[in-house]
Homo-oligomer: A and B are copies of this chain.
């Protein structure tokens, strides 16, 4: 399973009618109180809604207008350029709509128009980049001035949108909501996704990231956005004046986490021994050939492994290195930082070990520790791990821009399988050192890790540096999935 940012967010989130009804009174009262309290502060709040699901984003905006007190809310829909807009720099309309301190504004649209124009070639890449640069700087300015900026992108998979359209056309009831635009949009959506993800990445700034909201279920869509707004405003109202607390940017996740990225991995996949041997040998042979070519063509390869304890990282890595020339690769086992490493920025040790062109670096645990163990264990403050998503994306962008192939793996197993493996390790003399009390303690934080992994995958899956979520309960299956992904990544890069 390869996850892009948007695909990862589309995990099947849904809220039942009963849960929705139960949650609603608190949310609505909370929002009204928050607006009321906000008026006493010097904090302007900008809530930005965009989405590849036009009708869904509209529905969300209508709902928020219903739940918030519209006397204290300025809704601005940036549909098309007016004559007055075109006659001025593009940020003019944003500044005009900027709410005064103590008020909230709801902004709709904008982003997708730029994406579509870029995909259609009406806007050059350079212009798109300039637009994003100014937008980043503008947001930073507003944040530094004390503003709270909350951004939600409603993503609904193309097939879901098409189904809705067909139904509306057939039944006629909701047909008025849709028009020709929606047919075109849904049809082109899959092609536009890389550019959407890039636009989301390039218009994110620390303190104001995009939260991707799955739009398939309306109740989930509306409730999760409302709860996120409420949490962010509440946190800001509680913070001492003049400080910017970390934005609570985890989207609403339902209590049993049925809709996380990990919940959708089919852990039943398995491979029999004979098939395994055959496919392993073929994949390793192919990998050897590709690594050889990558060396000759000066293409570096970086393989980043994360996963549950006892998830099978080591075994998967060994199946890769078996296929490589000893001089071509290095495996970096990343443990707690040394004193020298602690005296530097957390990315320093990973920069230090960046492989040179033509070489392969394999990381057994990675820079993602910042948003996994350091987040969950509290080693990094919220503001620190929250800004790390952008810092990591920039790090990886520099690697891939330089020409490196980068693939990231999360080795997923079930909690039961992990327990079984821990027990088995204790029974095996040469594996006993791998298991400690701490490993058992970590299991108590399983749910926290599920949330952290979910957000990590959603925030850092890109077209050039995708996350591969590996089905690992069957070790043979896990190893083949990893090998196949490496072979595929190299094949694409060398094509």
Binding site for B on A (CB under 8 A): 42, 44, 84, 86-92, 95-96, 98, 100-102, 125-126, 129-130, 133-134, 137-138, 140-142, 144-145, 147, 206, 298, 300, 340, 343-348, 351-352, 354-358, 387, 390-391, 394, 397-399, 401-402
- The answer on a CB contact under 8 Å between A356 and B84 is yes
Cα separation A401 to B90 with both chains bound (whole Å):
10
Which chain B residues border A401 with CB–CB below 8 Å?
89, 130
The 6 A-B pairs with the shortest beta carbon distances in the complex, nearest first, are A100-B343, A95-B351, A87-B356, A89-B402, A87-B357, A89-B398
Q: Report the nearest B residue to A388, measured CB to CB.
A: B141
Q: Report the nearest B residue to A346, measured CB to CB.
A: B145
Which chain B residues border A345 with CB–CB below 8 Å?
98, 141-142, 145, 147
Q: Report the nearest B residue to A94, measured CB to CB.
A: B351
Instruction: Pick from B145, B346, B354, B387: contact of A92, CB below 8 A.
Output: B354
- The answer on a CB contact under 8 Å between A298 and B87 is yes
- The answer on a CB contact under 8 Å between B96 and A351 is yes
Which chain B residues border A100 with CB–CB below 8 Å?
340, 343-344
- The answer on a CB contact under 8 Å between A96 and B352 is yes
Q: Report the nearest B residue to A91, measured CB to CB.
A: B398
Cα separation A397 to B92 with both chains bound (whole Å):
13
Cα separation A126 to B127 with both chains bound (whole Å):
11
Cα separation A102 to B339 with both chains bound (whole Å):
13
27 contacts between A and B (CB under 8 A): A44-B344, A87-B357, A87-B358, A88-B300, A89-B354, A89-B398, A91-B351, A91-B398, A92-B354, A95-B347, A95-B348, A96-B352, A98-B344, A98-B348, A100-B343, A101-B343, A102-B343, A126-B126, A134-B394, A137-B390, A137-B391, A141-B391, A141-B394, A144-B206, A144-B387, A145-B345, A145-B346
- The answer on a CB contact under 8 Å between B144 and A88 is no
Cα separation A96 to B354 with both chains bound (whole Å):
10
Which chain B residues border A98 with CB–CB below 8 Å?
344-345, 348
Instruction: Pick from B95, B102, B354: contact of A88, CB below 8 A.
Output: B354
Which chain B residues border A91 with CB–CB below 8 Å?
351, 398
Q: Report the nearest B residue to A102, measured CB to CB.
A: B343
Work out how many copies of this chain go into the complex.
Answer: 2
Q: What is the distance, in angstroms, from A105's C-beta to the closest C-beta of chain B?
A: 12
Q: Report the nearest B residue to A390, measured CB to CB.
A: B137
Which chain B residues border A354 with CB–CB below 8 Å?
88-89, 92
Cα separation A141 to B399 with both chains bound (whole Å):
17
Q: What is the distance, in angstroms, from A296's C-beta to the closest C-beta of chain B?
A: 14
Which chain B residues border A87 with CB–CB below 8 Å?
298, 300, 356-358
Given contacts A96-B352, A100-B340, A130-B401, contact A88 B137 (CB under 8 A): no
Cα separation A16 to B103 with both chains bound (whole Å):
57
Q: What is the distance, in angstroms, from A346's C-beta to the closest C-beta of chain B?
A: 8
Cα separation A356 to B357 with both chains bound (whole Å):
51
Q: Report the nearest B residue to A398, measured CB to CB.
A: B89
Cα separation A340 to B44 with both chains bound (whole Å):
13
Which chain B residues border A96 with CB–CB below 8 Å?
351-352
Cα separation A376 to B126 with both chains bound (whole Å):
39
Cα separation A239 to B402 with both chains bound (whole Å):
39
Q: Report the nearest B residue to A298, measured CB to CB.
A: B87
Which chain B residues border A134 with CB–CB below 8 Å?
394, 397-398
- The answer on a CB contact under 8 Å between B356 and A88 is yes
Given contacts A134-B394, A141-B345, 4 further A-B contacts (CB under 8 A): A84-B356, A98-B348, A100-B343, A140-B206
Cα separation A390 to B387 with both chains bound (whole Å):
21
Cα separation A142 to B394 with both chains bound (whole Å):
13
Cα separation A93 to B358 with both chains bound (whole Å):
18
- The answer on a CB contact under 8 Å between B357 and A88 is yes
